[in-house]
Every structure is written in structure tokens, then in C-alpha cells.
């Protein structure tokens, strides 16, 4: 049987929803849906004109998945895009199973909040002298997730440290007048993200044969040591750089 098509040539059985329907089904406004599409998180609809398109059940499910990852796991959009694009295809089934099993075992060591507690962004920003504009910039960099509840922004309590740190950097003198902006944090985000990818690539094959509890205990002991190593290496590199100039 031939699928029913609209006058614009759209398969209306596969793409039955207009933007208004998509918003009602997902609880998002038009601007948020367009943002997800622009970010490559949701595929574009079947266009029938410059400002008209139709959407299908797959668009509804994709948006709901993104919302779950934001609200339940507080994943930034960069991390959600990695989940959607399946960037962990290089792992064997055993390696992937290990990584999945490690999450609940290490959430406290990694500063996670399994309870999913959120706090009002306005209060946190006021307490540390950070603006809403700067918070939005952090979200755009993929450093945290901003949730909209009742027209007010909220963040995960586990992300409060970032607000505190940026406020402290401002107070230390990294002012807007000197040209410092949240976007400057991108160099650290990119460096740490690259480091993590290489760590996972090195450690996963070596540890996949061990029980998850043993791997979690090993990492629990090693992570603080690695964090200290990174601090000292950063200091040493800066010291050596200045010494070379002298």
C-alpha cells in the first residue's frame, strides 16, 4: 500500500507532526527545539518550505532522550552528542560492560550526585558574583547543564564548584576589563577532554579482565594521585617556561 502523502510530497504517516505538535509532545518551546536541531542533536524535519517542516516519532523520542540525559544525568550537550553519535563503538562488549559498571561505583569519588539534586541558579550566581550570561556561556562550552523549571534556571548541585571557581577567578583579578571571559575556559575543557579520551583508551584494555569492584578500588586510590600529578606538572611547565626565557 502506498503511503499517504500531503500535497507537498511529505509522507504524513511517517512525519505526522508540525512544530506545534512537537512542542506539545515534548514540553519544549519552539526555540529550544530549533536549538537542538542547530546543535546537531536532533535531525531536521522534512521541509515543505522555508519556515515549514514535518516531524516524526523519531524526533519526539530523540528530544525525550536528550531531556532525560540532561535532567537525570546532568550531561552537558557535548556529552549527549557523544552518546547519540556512538563514539564508544571502539570498545569491546567486555570493555563497555566494565565502563558501565564503574559509574555507580565511582560516583562519589568523581564528585557525582546520584540523587540528582538541583539548586536555583540565581542564588548560586549572586553568591559568587557570576552573571547569568556567564552561566549560559558555560553551558554553551559544555561545562554544565542549565535546566529551565518554571521559567527559572537551575543547575545540578554537583556543578556548583564551577560557579564558585569562576567567581574566585574573577575576584583574583581575571576581569572582563582585562579581556577575560568564560570562553577562555575552553582551553582547559579541550585539554582535559583529550586527556580523558587517551586515559580511557590506555586503561580500558588493561583493566577489562578485572572485576569491576577491583577496578573501582584501583581508580579510587589512583585518581587523587593523578590529580596531584597534573597540578605539579602544570606548575613545573610554567616554571620551566619562565626559566627558559630568563
Q: Which residues of 103-127 are buried (b: 16+ CB within 10 A; e: fewer)?
A: eeebeeeeebbeeeebeebeebbee
Mean pLDDT across the stretch 5-31? Answer: 82
Residues 6+ apart with CB under 8 A from 200: 99
Q: What is the pLDDT of residue 91?
A: 73
Q: Which of 135-144, 181-190, 216-225 has the lowest mean pLDDT?
A: 135-144
Cβ atoms of residues 70 and 81 within 8 Å: no
Q: Is the pLDDT of residue 100 over 90?
A: no
137 three-class SS: helix
Confidence of residue 88 (pLDDT cuts 50, 70, 90): low
Cβ atoms < 10 Å from Cβ of 242: 9
Helices of type H across 107-185: 121-128, 132-140, 160-172
Rounded CA separation 175/209 (Å): 49
Q: Let me know if domain 19-73 sits in CATH 1.10.1660.10.
A: yes
Q: What is the pLDDT of residue 1?
A: 41
Confidence of residue 2 (pLDDT cuts 50, 70, 90): very low
Angle (CA) 4-9-15 rounded to 5° is 60
Tell me the per-residue pLDDT of 21-57, one tens digit each, with 9 for 90 and over.
999 999 888 888 988 898 888 999 988 877 789 999 9
Residue range(s) of every CATH 1.10.1660.10 domain in the chain:
19-73
Rounded CA separation 29/19 (Å): 9
Residues 6+ apart with CB under 8 A from 143: 76, 159, 162, 185, 189
Q: What is the pLDDT of residue 22?
A: 93
- The residue among 134 and 95 whose pLDDT is bigger is 134
Q: Is the pLDDT of residue 7 over 70?
A: no
Mean pLDDT across the stretch 216-236? Answer: 96
| The three three-digit cell numbers of residue 158, written as one number | 554537583
Rounded CA separation 56/78 (Å): 24
- The residue among 42 and 103 whose pLDDT is bigger is 42
Amino acid at each position: 500500500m502506498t503511503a499517504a502523502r500531503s500535497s507537498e510530497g511529505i509522507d504524513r504517516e511517517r512525519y505526522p507532526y508540525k512544530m506545534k505538535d512537537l512542542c506539545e509532545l515534548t514540553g519544549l518551546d519552539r526555540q529550544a527545539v530549533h536549538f537542538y536541531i542547530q546543535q546537531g542533536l536532533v535531525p531536521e524535519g522534512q521541509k515543505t518550505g522555508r519556515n515549514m517542516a514535518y516531524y516524526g516519532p523519531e524526533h519526539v523520542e530523540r528530544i525525550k532522550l536528550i531531556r532525560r540525559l540532561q535532567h537525570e544525568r546532568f550531561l552537558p550537550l557535548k556529552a549527549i552528542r557523544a552518546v547519540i553519535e556512538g563514539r564508544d563503538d571502539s570498545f569491546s562488549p567486555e570493555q563497555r560492560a566494565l565502563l558501565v559498571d564503574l559509574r555507580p561505583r565511582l560516583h562519589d569519588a568523581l564528585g557525582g550526585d546520584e540523587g540528582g539534586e538541583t539548586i536555583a541558579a540565581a542564588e548560586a550566581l549572586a553568591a559568587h558574583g557570576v552573571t547569568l550570561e556567564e552561566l549560559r556561556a558555560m553551558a554553551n562550552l559544555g561545562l554544565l547543564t542549565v535546566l529551565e523549571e518554571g521559567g527559572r534556571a537551575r543547575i545540578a548541585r554537583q556543578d556548583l564548584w564551577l560557579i564558585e571557581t569562576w567567581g574566585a577567578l574573577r575576584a583574583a583579578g581575571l576581569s572582563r576589563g582585562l579581556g577575560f571571559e568564560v570562553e577562555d575556559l575552553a582551553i582547559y575543557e579541550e585539554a582535559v577532554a583529550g586527556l580523558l579520551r587517551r586515559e580511557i583508551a590506555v586503561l580500558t584494555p588493561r583493566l577489562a579482565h578485572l572485576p569491576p569492584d577491583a577496578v573501582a578500588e584501583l581508580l579510587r586510590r589512583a585518581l587523587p594521585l593523578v590529580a596531584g600529578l597534573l597540578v605539579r606538572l602544570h606548575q613545573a611547565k610554567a616554571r620551566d617556561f619562565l626559566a627558559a626565557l630568563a
